[in-house]
Chain A
Amino acid sequence: MDFLILIPYILLGTLMAGLVSLIPALHIFNLAGFILLYFKFPQLLPGNALPAFMMSLVVSWSIINTIPALFLGAPDESAMFIVLPGQKYMMLGKGYEAAVLSGVGALGAIIVLGIGSPVILKLFPKIRWLLIPHMGWILLLICAYIIMGEWPKATLRPKTKWGRFIDGWKSSAAGILTFILAGLLGIFILNKPFIPIERAFQNIMPAFVGLYAVPWVITNIISKTEIPKQNICTSIDLDYKLAIRGTFAGVLGGSFAALLPIITGGIGGLIAGHATAQRDDRLFIISQGASKTTYYVGGFLLFFVPYFGMYHLRRGGMAWMLSPFYVPRTIGDYFIILATIALSAGFAFFLLLRFSRFVIKVITKFDYRLISLFTVVILFAIVLTITGLRGIFITVVATGIGLIPVLFHSRRMNCMAILLVHMTLSMFGVETAVLKFFHLI
């Protein structure tokens, strides 16, 4: 595979994914599926350009997709933790700086992936094989951590012990309720798809939009947020120590998510966030940028590891979509993909800066509530287009659940139960009993 031939396709993929990243709720897997299934794109590309093109889509999306989360408050699952510090930066007129910080984290993750590529090549497949039989208790551990780790938001004002206890447990109880309801929603929609069968692979998308994106945008509308003038800085307040620490924490969380089946980018972000709980928003934003990129790019990179002959690791939607069209055969293919990642990441970082400036211009020119309203319309329009009216129904139900943490100041990560509960039950072999209990089988 001659790398020079691939460059135009890499740049094209990066640009296309960059543009798609700006549209809230639209996932890069939607675009990739569309390209592969409807446009017969594989036949149009020369030789092995398809994997490089697909990788550039993933790289670019993982870097640029923080823009809707930061500026519109409409994150996907893997970017949900960046919304709060992002909005804080925006209210200080430093939204652009937040975008740059997340980009720095993403570039840091790409560098670590590059340096660690021999480790990924040799070690990751083994670790993955070792851990697969243990996914049950690992998932249970994550569930327990989400529930146990919720900081109580008590006022401590009631005069009696019991009064204080009830007051303090309001937010924790709201968190547990969110966890249970999201878990139930996951059990229902993953076992009895509401979406038309030809679009069944989009099963979870309307729920994600409802849980993570819509509640925050609604909050923006209700709270009459006014965006202050944004400063487009030429340099940022950051030293190498912070950049390294943030990147390491992000790579730690992102690798965990990329390596293990079922674990999502949100959990990677959760680990990254807890690994950097240092009261420094810069560190946190960098770690989230790094975690997201490690999760998406690192997960997809596993597909290119030549391992056990024809048998390849397929982690994430992109690997599954690409596998019928392409099989990596040599170590050379792996290194070509690494070069693709480096080139695409550089270009995507440049696009991140450009697109951030553009979005900042838009949100400061128009009423932010109007923009938030427009965002809600886009979110529902995309859900309707991809999944139909039933998808809208799921989004509305999920929005109800997603609003609980917003109203009671509990943690949004409880929404992750949508996948975690279903998978944990399945791993412990009790899923059938639960499904029978709900008359789902």
Chain B
Amino acid sequence: MKGLTHFTVGAAIATCFPQAIDLSLTHFSAILALGGIFGLLPDTLDFKLAMFIEENDYIIDPATKEFLKDPMDMNSIDPQKVAAKVAQAIDEAWDTGREIRLQLHTVQVAGDLWRHYEVFYDTKENEVVVTIGPVVTMSQVPGEFLGIPYDFKERARAKTKCNILQTQNRSSRIDIFNGPSFGYMKKGEEGVEVIFLPWHRQWSHSPILGIIFGALGWIFLGKIYGLVIGLGFISHILFDLTGFMGANLFWPIKQRRTTGGQFLKASNPIANFLVIAFSGILALWNLNRFSPQPTFHLHAWPYFGYFFLLPAFLLMATTRILEMKGRVVEIFKRERLEALGRILLLLILGEGWQEKSREAKEERTAPKRIGKMLLEILRMMMREEKAEVASQVRADEEVAESEEEFAG
């Protein structure tokens, strides 16, 4: 999830405590803000501390002599040398059995001009693919610079001794500010696993650290502060677990990240929007019901139904309509009588359910058919969603998660 989402969730959790609202209203307390602050803290710790204390075994700085074709020309980066070095790091992890870490540096060619390059792990051929690109501005726009055309591209490959275990199906793009780091870890006899940003979501994303922060808050500020701090922090980890990269749930006992539940992409705009919206609506509900003079009087069901469930349904349905516009029209033309119900199902459950439902129709009576169909739809959704997303997005997601958490 994005930083803003974690932040609003933390603040919304804090409003669930009537004592916290009372403290903020009567004692100018910042307790409700603490929920949001600790909701964002795990990522702050990573991006403002952990990334700097990481030690690397290999450092690739493409603008240095080691990686240049012409040692006197920093624009003559040799992609073959870069690819070979990355492959060497992977081979070392395979040979020694220990985790090898590699840092890729950016290439700044002038004040706000940077050389673009990409690293890709080809898991089919077990090769490292490096592409040197053009010079780009701070806004990542390519341009002509010292004879390097804006569409410059030079690619090279280097074979590794072992299988590369990596689900990332897109290149790591390196240009402005700083480059990414990778960890290479031998995984039995299967091969070497590529770990993107090995410093991210480690100790800082441990529930145990959340408990420690909560306990400190309890001791120094009071019980309610401790709860707000601890729950705000842990909520971040729980929401991160819905994604792909996961978190280190058992630090300091274990040093490795636990894979996430892979339900959704951290950058999924609708999921983020809905979580933020729900947090805002929950916070308003709590502020109202714990207020000495409530502004409105509504029961929970109509409140959350009208202000969250209904708009959320409409939003998702609209998205589906826009995604499947052609399909909806086709169904409507073909099966007018059942069209409305079918379109609704299509909007809610997605494509693919229809074929199965037709087979069922021939075999079973109506009530049985509907039950079976729903079950089938549910199974299919889970299967398809998971397979499709997992195959395409997993590592893509890892890159996106880390980059977008703080984007802005």
Contact = CB atoms under 8 A, between A and B. Distances in A.
B contacts with A: majority SS: helix
Contacts of B24: 134, 136-137
A144 B408 contact: no
A168 B52 contact: yes
Nearest to B291: A130
Interface string A397-436: 0000000000001010000000000000001110000000
B69 interface: no
Nearest to A239: B322
Interface in B238-297: 267, 269, 272-273, 276, 284, 287-288, 291, 295-296
Interface in B103-144: 103, 105-106, 112, 137-139, 141, 143
A5 interface: no
B36 interface: yes
Contacts, number: 149
A145 interface: yes
A134 B36 CA distance: 14
Given A140-B30, A141-B33, A152 B48 contact: yes
Contacts of A274: 2-4, 407-408
Interface in B36-52: 36-37, 40-41, 44, 47-49, 51-52
Nearest to A119: B307
Interface string B39-73: 01100100111011101000001000000000000
B26 to A, nearest CB: 10
Contacts of B32: 134, 137, 141
Given A134-B24, A148-B44, A278 B267 contact: yes
A contacts with B: majority SS: helix
A429 B28 contact: yes
Interface residues of A, number: 57
Interface residues of B, number: 58
Nearest to A165: B52
A130 B141 contact: no
B37 A91 contact: no
Nearest to A167: B52
B404 interface: yes
Interface string A243-273: 0110011001000000000000000001101
Contacts of B37: 141, 144, 148
Given A137-B30, A172-B48, A409-B177, 18 more contacts: A91-B143, A130-B295, A133-B25, A134-B25, A137-B33, A141-B7, A145-B7, A148-B40, A156-B181, A165-B49, A241-B323, A270-B408, A275-B4, A275-B269, A277-B407, A277-B408, A279-B404, A427-B28
Interface of A: 84-85, 87-88, 91-92, 126-127, 129-131, 133-134, 136-137, 140-141, 144-145, 148-157, 161, 164-165, 168-169, 172, 223, 240-241, 244-245, 248-249, 252, 270-271, 273-279, 409, 411, 427-429
